[in-house]
Chain A
Amino acid sequence: MRHALALCLVGLAAAAPAQVLVFRNNERWEVNNPLALDDKGKPVPPDAKRAKFNATFDKVERVSRAGGAEFTASKRLEEVVGIEWPAIAQLRTAKEEISRGNATRALELAESVLRVFDKAKKVPGSPWIAAAIVKLDAIDRLDNDAALAAFLSALETVDDGSNAELRQKVQVAKLIQKARRGDHAGVIADADGLIASLDSADTLARLHILKGASLLVLRRYEEAMNTYLRVPVFYGSQQEHLPKALLGAAKAFRGMDSPALKSQRLGEVANRYLRELVATYPVSAEAEEAKALLPKEEREAAIQEQTAIKDAVVAPAETGGE
């Protein structure tokens, strides 16, 4: 299987399209990929037939031979009007690193791409935007407010609203900043505005969770419950957000609880959500928090039911591979 996969990858590599920079005069230059790495992780030696970036990534140079002589032509990156660039492995790896919680490594990888395309940020097809999005995610995970603020202000100069994903990420990042500053009323107002204007289910689920958290801090429990529960109700397919939403809803229910509302058994409702979270998303960070929030007896029962699922992933014996 591994052998077959390796062959596929070799095939893909051989067929990989070249990187092309399109200049104002419609001239198309194939360029070496400065980000390309070989199997050992070392830079791939440049192909002499293709143009090459200079050390500061503000020019590309192409050497041509005629009559035994070498001629070097160079163009500034500011002159580029179009970029055709295949998927960048560094960005894919960076996203994976973010998922694994290794935001520092992700940031390094994103930075390496940003550096290359810094002079061609807004050029159509430039991977700069994609790298910027990854960097934003990485900084967010690093909880580095100063870095986030600095990068956001840098992005503002670039973001002309043409890239919806970038725009949304920036808006959500700003909201996170606001929440960290403790401006919860501001977060709620902004989140409402964004929720009304955005349509990505993922971003909407994120926004509801952000808004719910701020409502919770302000002890507006009923609204927090309403906000958190919108995630499983309307964005139930966004499974990755459900643990946070269920946890938030449980906290909100607990906040709503009072002797006057004893008949609504809100404490039990909260515990039911916590147990559901532990059972459905057993190894999530939220499940751990949920366990801590469960009363002792229920927590013990939940823990008994729960096992270290990740370790028990067993390859099916009776099924054949593809």
Chain B
Amino acid sequence: MAHPVSRTYRMAQAALFAVLVALAPVPTASAQQKPAQAQEETPTQKLWNEAEKLLAERKYPAALERFQQLEKDADKAGLPAEAKAAIAFRQASCLYLIAGQSKLGSDWTKVEVALQKFLQNHPQGTGTLLDATNNMRGPARLSLVEAYAYQSKWDEALRDLDALRKPSPETREEDRVLAFVMTAKILELRAKGRSPEELKQALGQSMNLLKQVIAGGMGTPERREAALKLVEVYASLGMAKEAEQLRAEIEAKGVGSPAELVRANAQRLEIGDARFQTAEAEPEPKAREELYRQALSSYQGTLRRAALSRALVLAVESRQQEVDRLVRAYAKPTPEQQAAIDKAKEQLDEVSKLQTEFGGNKDYDAVISYRIGLCLLELNRPWEAFVAFRDIFQNSPGFEKISGAYYYYIDALRRIGRTEEALKVSKEFLQKYPDSAEAGPIALGLGEIRMEQEEFEQAIAEFKWAKANAKGLDPAAVQEIDFGIVRALFSNVDWAKARVALEEFLQKYPSTPAKESAVYMLGLTYFFEGNYPETVGNKDKPGALVRYYKEFPNGQHKADVLYRLGVVSLNIATDTLFQQGVLEKDIRGPDGAIAIARLWLSRHGNAKDEASVTQLPEVHTLIADAHAKKGEAFGRQAEELDKKVRTTAAPAAKQALLAQQRQAEAAKAEQVKASIDAYIQAARTAKANPAALEFALGEATKLLGGRGEHARIRDLYQELHDWDPAAPKATVYLYEVVKATEKMGDSPEFRVRTERAQAEFGERLRLARERIDGLERAGKFNTPELATAKADLARLSEELAKALEVIEADRQKAVQAARQEALGVLSKAIAASIDNRKQEGSERLLGFLAEKLARRIKRVRPGQEPAPGAYTLKAAMADLDAALGVREGSGTLIAQARRLYAQAQLALLGRDPAQAEALWRRIADLYKPEELSPAILGTVGEHLLSKRDPRAEAFLSYIAEFHRSSDYADFGFAGLAELRLAQGKPKDALTLCEEAVDLGIVMSREKDIRFAKARALIDLGKYDEAKKELVFISGVREWRGETTSGCLYHLAVIEEKQGRLQEAVVLHQRNIVAWKRHERWVAKSYLASADLLAKLGQRDAARQTLQEMLSKDRVKDTPEAQEARSRLTRL
């Protein structure tokens, strides 16, 4: 019995972990060969054939059962040793294939046991029974190694491979070669997950082993496989040249006949498919990933259509030549010769048929791309998958599975974040393939993408469009789309329409799985409209939310519904909640709300699901609102009582009213306190709910601020800041911490002390003044008594002043201490981010710190010395250093650079631009661009550019290259464009500007980029485009200023260049008149205007223009003015 699978089997063996997978389909051929023998088959043969057939059909457990039965019957049937070996081998094969599918360690143990049994019990193997040249001991030993490998029994695997690699008459050459390849692979596998050093060693060992194999040539498929593996190892070791050389050698040696090439290619595809299918069934993620990787590698190794066609043509040609040769050689053939001719013709027909079939298979390349794309998606490489699927649309638009390709292409687009393109492609797909199986999911996806982007109207349009255009949608898909429309209407806050749509939906689909959500949403349409009576309903007809509460006690929205009912209670005093069983007692209004909120907290307060966590702060806010509402009621009550107190004359009644008023005020204070506590609690639990956070934070800050409780504000914001100091919002929280800390210095205590002192002294002063008045009224002028009284008054005033002074000094001290503490807070926050180059917020904090310090600097007029002890820039610099905690030469490079940056900011704010410039230069001297953050790169780069320092290019290029999505990216483009213009490279400048505009890299430097673009266009002679750009810039109100003046100047230049001198003069004059403050361009306009007038023959006017120019203070010292002086002498 020939082994018909030997080649596939060997190829698969070479590819570790797919060894026997390729075996399964092949016994079909064997089974097909059987009918001739069927007439005389014994029960054992019948059972064998049945087992082989089942194996061919990949029904491995059933096949295994038959082989096991055969084993039991073997002795009774008197089977020879070879047949018993074949049965044992097939059993092991079945177990192997089962294990290959399940990948369970226990299954591999069974394989191991079965193969060991075969090897131990059958020293002669299957003899020639399964394969004339292979007794299957070699494949069994290799498969055993594989079983070891799957169980991570590396030592056993390597031990057996060592034995297999040794030359022995019992080991077939191909098995020996495969043993080398498998050793290399196992060494690599064993090293995976270990240290890079160990992996490197393993690769080195693999390389040596494979080199030994290919030293013996590459004549056999196994050796070629070894060579290809060596190419991979070389590449992994970074030895690209060796890899390239070896590959070239492999290709030069050829891979056999064209027919072999075609067959080998088909085998690669088969192996790829087998691996892909196994991967799909693999539950373990890492193993699955590895299988997809192997499948991908197989698919990538297959030849593309063009190469394969060429191989087929060559195969047909060579077969034809063989036929021709034989026919020529044997003019009168003997029967043997005729048989040879017939055989050659048969082979020719076979290859020709293959060629014809292949010619008809137009999808060949697309199939490969499709499979590659699927593998890449599974391997989470969406960008590559995107490229693979695109290839299908570009090169095989008629691909049979094009709808599937679209589906996965859209998936890839969504994964790489290209939602707009995903939408476009989805529509294109639905228009082209409305009847495809993928139409439903894609149609839904279309609306879902818009929903994700919160573009609800578009989402509705997409859903409707999909429904109208995708014809082949099944009812479930239609229902999903209908519900999508309802969701979109709801999300679009279109309550009335959403309500109608929901009611229609519930009527149309009474048993819809979305019923629970639909009822919930229906209730919310009333709730969000503020129609609380309808939301809650009444005793006889409960509203939708109450219905939900009762009908879906375990529904997914039960927590939210309870919360909403609490809100309803807060807003309307209803007894429905009690009647419908939501509340156990008839509590209404704010008390009802508080009761429901407490109920919510007891049921869901500790829940970890996203919805409950998000709602938790809202529930606390509800409690806070309810207390606030109660507080307001007490406040109103107190006001009423106050009015009554004022109008009540009877002392007893007045006292009673006053007591009631105090009680009401105390009750109000208590409610406000409870409300504050609840808002704070809401804010502290609102990490996952930014909207609730913002609201609760605002309310808490307002109430606490009013009560002067700055310490609590500080603590609250500090806690929020500490959630994630790297978050963009953290800077805002930090500002609040700093502000509150500063305010803590001026605490209400000082006001109280001042008031107390003033009250205390006030009475004594009053008495002293009265005494003086009395004496004076009594005419006791110039008496010692009056003098004493006056002295007493003066002493008292002095004492008061002293007491107030002490309080003020204490206050100042406290304010100072608080400021210092605030600086400490800021300093701590900066310290946390100063070493992180990517933390763009760090520079904002540094700016904030510099601003705080700069405000304290005592300003003096230029040339004046500051008063002794005054806070100077130097002192501020020292404080800055102390706050940053970074000393000269200490800390990370970025921290040091940021220190200099902060110093420069402080110097600027402290009105010392020269020092700021020196500091920027220092940054440029000390650091490489890659060591700096985008903000520093931009600031220093622009400074260097303004000074024409050649280092500007490196700084600006680095931003343009490495920080394209940073807020400072346009600094790079604007600066570089300016640089190129200065270098006389307008084309390069234009490219940079266009790139920045095209890619939307235009933020704070958009004006500069457009201005540079306009000038580049002028230099390139593209006047119309330049004019358009200049007019655009001039039209932007926010940009008005120096650049507008520059635009006018350049518009004049365009006129001049086009020979319209008079128009140019007009524009220059307009610039001179309108923008006199911007001497940079005005000076140029003066000079240009004079030149033009001279050209126009108006020499007097030209002279006058120059004289006027030189009379202007702002212009007379410009470089242009120098030139004007020299020209004036020539006019």
Q: Write out the residue numbers on chain A whose beta carbons fall within 8 Å of the beta carbon of B241.
A: 99-101, 240
Give bound CA distance, A240 to B931, whole Å: 33
User: What is the CB-to-nearest-CB distance from A228 to chain B, in angstroms, rounded to a whole number?
Assistant: 9
User: What is the CB-to-nearest-CB distance from A137 to chain B, in angstroms, rounded to a whole number?
Assistant: 10
- Is A287 at the interface (CB under 8 A from chain B)? yes
| Contact mask for chain A residues 257-293; partner B; CB cutoff 8 A; 1 contact, 0 none | 1111111111101000000000011111001000000
User: What is the CB-to-nearest-CB distance from A309 to chain B, in angstroms, rounded to a whole number?
Assistant: 5
Within 8 A of B (CB), among A288-322: 295-297, 305-307, 309-310, 312-316, 318-322
Report which of A237, A267, A280, A297 forms a contact with B300, defined as CB distance below 8 A.
A237
Binds B, one of A77-85, A181-189, A196-204: A196-204
Q: Write out the residue numbers on chain A whose beta carbons fall within 8 Å of the beta carbon of B369.
A: 234
Closest to B268 in A: A237
Q: Write out the residue numbers on chain B whose beta carbons fall within 8 Å of the beta carbon of A153.
A: none
Closest to A283 in B: B238
Give bound CA distance, A255 to B998, whole Å: 12
Closest to B206 in A: A316
User: By the criterion of a CB under 8 Å from any partner CB, how many residues of chain B are at the interface?
Assistant: 79
Q: Write out the residue numbers on chain A whose beta carbons fall within 8 Å of the beta carbon of B388.
A: 233-234
Query: Provided the pairs A309-B203, A312-B204, A319-B183 are in contact, do residues A287 and B238 lie with their beta carbons within 8 angstroms?
Result: yes
Within 8 A of B (CB), among A95-142: 95-96, 99-101
Q: Is the CB of A296 within 8 A of B236?
A: no
- Is B418 at the interface (CB under 8 A from chain A)? yes
Closest to A321 in B: B212
- Is B387 at the interface (CB under 8 A from chain A)? yes
- Is A232 at the interface (CB under 8 A from chain B)? yes
Q: Write out the residue numbers on chain A whose beta carbons fall within 8 Å of the beta carbon of B239.
A: 283, 310
- Is B162 at the interface (CB under 8 A from chain A)? yes
- Is A242 at the interface (CB under 8 A from chain B)? yes
Q: Is the CB of B248 within 8 A of A95?
A: yes
Within 8 A of B (CB), among A8-51: none
Q: Is the CB of B243 within 8 A of A239?
A: yes
Q: Is the CB of B387 within 8 A of A233?
A: yes
Query: Provided the pairs A200-B307, A235-B300, A295-B962 are in contact, do residues A230 and B391 lie with their beta carbons within 8 angstroms?
Result: yes
Report which of A296, A305, A319 forms a contact with B196, defined as CB distance below 8 A.
A305
Q: Write out the residue numbers on chain A whose beta carbons fall within 8 Å of the beta carbon of B228.
A: 237
Report which of B215, B244, B964 forms a contact with A5, defined as CB distance below 8 A.
B215
Which label, helix, strand, loop or mixed, suits the secondary structure of the B interface?
helix
Query: Provided the pairs A233-B372, A313-B204 are in contact, do residues A254 and B964 lie with their beta carbons within 8 angstroms?
Result: yes
Within 8 A of B (CB), among A219-248: 219, 225-226, 229-230, 232-240, 242-243
Give bound CA distance, A257 to B251, whole Å: 40
Q: Is the CB of B205 within 8 A of A316?
A: yes
Q: Is the CB of A296 within 8 A of B384?
A: no
User: What is the CB-to-nearest-CB distance from B64 to chain A, in angstroms, rounded to a whole number?
Assistant: 35
User: What is the CB-to-nearest-CB distance from B214 to chain A, in angstroms, rounded to a whole number?
Assistant: 10
Closest to A137 in B: B248
Report which of B158, B205, B231, B1003 forms a contact with A315, defined as CB distance below 8 A.
B205
Q: Is the CB of B999 within 8 A of A258?
A: yes
Closest to B998 in A: A258
Which label, helix, strand, loop or mixed, suits the secondary structure of the A interface?
helix
Q: Is the CB of A265 within 8 A of B383?
A: no
Q: Write out the residue numbers on chain A whose beta carbons fall within 8 Å of the beta carbon of B966.
A: 259
Q: Is the CB of B297 within 8 A of A236?
A: yes
Q: Write out the residue numbers on chain B whose beta carbons fall within 8 Å of the beta carbon of A309.
A: 200, 203-204, 237-238
Within 8 A of A (CB), among B944-976: 961-967, 969
Closest to A253 in B: B383
Report which of B296, B416, B1003 forms a contact with A264, defined as CB distance below 8 A.
B416
Within 8 A of A (CB), among B336-354: none
Closest to B389 in A: A233
Q: Write out the residue numbers on chain B whose beta carbons fall within 8 Å of the beta carbon of A201.
A: 303-304, 307
Give bound CA distance, A71 to B243, whole Å: 52
Report which of A232, A260, A282, A295 forms a contact with B999, defined as CB distance below 8 A.
A260
Q: Is the CB of B1001 within 8 A of A199?
A: no
Q: Is the CB of B213 within 8 A of A322?
A: yes
Within 8 A of B (CB), among A148-186: none
Q: Write out the residue numbers on chain A whose beta carbons fall within 8 Å of the beta carbon of B297.
A: 236-237
Q: Is the CB of B837 within 8 A of A297?
A: yes
Q: Is the CB of A320 within 8 A of B162?
A: yes
Q: Write out the residue numbers on chain B whose beta carbons fall within 8 Å of the beta carbon of A254.
A: 961-962, 964
Q: Write out the residue numbers on chain A whose beta carbons fall within 8 Å of the beta carbon of B165.
A: 319-320, 322
Closest to B1001 in A: A258
Q: Write out the residue numbers on chain A whose beta carbons fall within 8 Å of the beta carbon of B204.
A: 309, 312-315
User: By the criterion of a CB under 8 Å from any partner CB, how many residues of chain A are at the interface?
Assistant: 66
* Most chain B Cβ neighbours within 10 Å, of A200, A312, A322: A322
Q: Is the CB of B208 within 8 A of A315?
A: yes
Report which of B162, B201, B300, B383 forms a contact with A314, defined as CB distance below 8 A.
B201
Q: Is the CB of B304 within 8 A of A257?
A: no
Q: Is the CB of A262 within 8 A of B965?
A: yes
Q: Is the CB of B215 within 8 A of A259?
A: no
User: What is the CB-to-nearest-CB distance from B937 to chain A, in angstroms, rounded to a whole number?
Assistant: 12
Give bound CA distance, A301 to B1053, whole Å: 53
Query: Provided the pairs A99-B242, A315-B208 are in contact, do residues A267 and B383 lie with their beta carbons within 8 angstroms?
Result: no
Q: Is the CB of A295 within 8 A of B930?
A: yes
Q: Write out the residue numbers on chain B whose beta carbons fall within 8 Å of the beta carbon of A281.
A: 235-236, 238, 240
Give bound CA distance, A301 to B99, whole Å: 40
User: What is the CB-to-nearest-CB distance from B570 to chain A, in angstroms, rounded to a whole number?
Assistant: 39
Closest to B198 in A: A312
User: What is the CB-to-nearest-CB distance from A115 to chain B, in angstroms, rounded to a whole number?
Assistant: 23
Give bound CA distance, A220 to B1001, whole Å: 16
Query: Provided the pairs A234-B369, A264-B417, A281-B235 are in contact, do residues A226 and B390 lie with their beta carbons within 8 angstroms?
Result: yes
Q: Write out the residue numbers on chain A whose beta carbons fall within 8 Å of the beta carbon of B247.
A: 202, 238-240
Query: Provided the pairs A233-B384, A258-B965, A319-B183 are in contact, do residues A312 and B205 lie with their beta carbons within 8 angstroms?
Result: no
Give bound CA distance, A233 to B300, whole Å: 7
| Contact mask for chain B residues 373-408; partner A; CB cutoff 8 A; 1 contact, 0 none | 000100000011001101100000000000000000
Q: Is the CB of A229 within 8 A of B387?
A: yes
Report which of A230, A239, A315, A322 forms a contact with B232, defined as CB distance below 8 A.
A239
Query: Provided the pairs A264-B416, A309-B200 are in contact, do residues A234 and B391 lie with their beta carbons within 8 angstroms?
Result: yes
Q: Write out the residue numbers on chain A whose beta carbons fall within 8 Å of the beta carbon of B962.
A: 254, 267, 295
Q: Write out the residue numbers on chain A whose beta carbons fall within 8 Å of the beta carbon of B242.
A: 99
User: What is the CB-to-nearest-CB distance from B1015 to chain A, in angstroms, rounded to a whole number?
Assistant: 20
* Most chain A Cβ neighbours within 10 Å, of B165, B197, B238, B416: B238
Q: Write out the residue numbers on chain B whose beta carbons fall within 8 Å of the beta carbon of A101.
A: 241
User: What is the CB-to-nearest-CB distance from B372 to chain A, in angstroms, rounded to a whole number?
Assistant: 6
User: What is the CB-to-nearest-CB distance from A27 to chain B, in angstroms, rounded to a whole number?
Assistant: 24
Closest to A287 in B: B238
Q: Is the CB of A280 within 8 A of B236?
A: yes
| Contact mask for chain B residues 237-277; partner A; CB cutoff 8 A; 1 contact, 0 none | 11111111101100100000000000000000000000000
Q: Is the CB of A316 within 8 A of B209?
A: yes
User: What is the CB-to-nearest-CB distance from A266 to chain B, in angstroms, rounded to a whole number?
Assistant: 7
Q: Is the CB of B384 within 8 A of A322?
A: no
Q: Write out the residue numbers on chain A whose beta carbons fall within 8 Å of the beta carbon of B240.
A: 239-240, 243, 281, 284
Closest to A92 in B: B249
User: What is the CB-to-nearest-CB distance from A300 to chain B, in angstroms, rounded to a whole number?
Assistant: 11
Closest to A251 in B: B961
Q: Is the CB of B208 within 8 A of A313?
A: yes
Query: Provided the pairs A233-B376, A261-B965, A296-B930 are in contact, do residues A99 and B244 lie with their beta carbons within 8 angstroms?
Result: yes
* 12 extra A-B contacts, CB within 8 A, seeds A199-B303, A201-B304, A319-B165: A198-B306, A229-B383, A229-B384, A233-B300, A235-B300, A256-B999, A263-B417, A267-B965, A310-B238, A319-B162, A320-B162, A322-B212
What are the nearest 9 A-B pairs in CB distance? A283-B238, A239-B235, A313-B204, A258-B999, A260-B1000, A199-B306, A236-B300, A199-B307, A99-B241
A residues with CB within 8 A of B = 5, 95-96, 99-101, 198-202, 219, 225-226, 229-230, 232-240, 242-243, 254-267, 269, 280-284, 287, 295-297, 305-307, 309-310, 312-316, 318-322
Show 10 A/B contacts (Cβ-Cβ < 8 Å), sorted by A: A233-B388, A239-B240, A258-B999, A259-B1000, A266-B965, A267-B962, A282-B237, A283-B239, A310-B238, A319-B162
